[in-house]
Amino acid sequence: MSGKGKRKPLPKHQSDKEAEDFEDNADLSEYDFKGLSPAKFEFAPKDERIIIRVPEDLLNQIKQLAAAKKLPYSRYIRQILVGEVAREMKQTSK
């Protein structure tokens, strides 16, 4: 496909198998990837565990926000912690 042609929107897949088959057989240069955002993967081992108590309302809000992002709530909490710690470290290193 030439760079001047209009690109197709990516199709929605109902399963991982369907997505894998599409990726294996499609010419991906024909599709528009502008609407996608980078994925973050967690490779570091999680060796330590913490236990905290939070109000039920706060936990329900966290679960609601995590569900909207299609994440398990524990991973969402970890992302919040990583982001806040990085922000604090950046501020204290100035």
Domains of the chain as residue ranges with CATH: 1-36 (no CATH), 37-94 (1.10.1220)
| Confidence label for 4 from pLDDT (cuts 50, 70 and 90) | low
Side-chain half-sphere exposure of 62, counting CA atoms within 13 A: 16
CB 10 within 8 A of CB 33: yes
Give the C-alpha distances (Å, rounded to integers) separating 27 from 1, 19, 21, 68, 79: 9, 13, 12, 31, 34
- Count the neighbouring beta carbons within 10 Å of the beta carbon of residue 82: 12
- For the four alpha carbons of 81, 84, 36 and 59, in that order, the dihedral sign comes to positive
- In tens, the pLDDT along 39-86 reads 777 778 888 999 999 999 999 999 999 999 999 999 999 999 999 999
Is the whole-model pTM more than 0.75? no
Rounded mean pLDDT of 32-41? 79
| Confidence label for 19 from pLDDT (cuts 50, 70 and 90) | confident
Give the tokens for residue 23. Answer: 């990726």
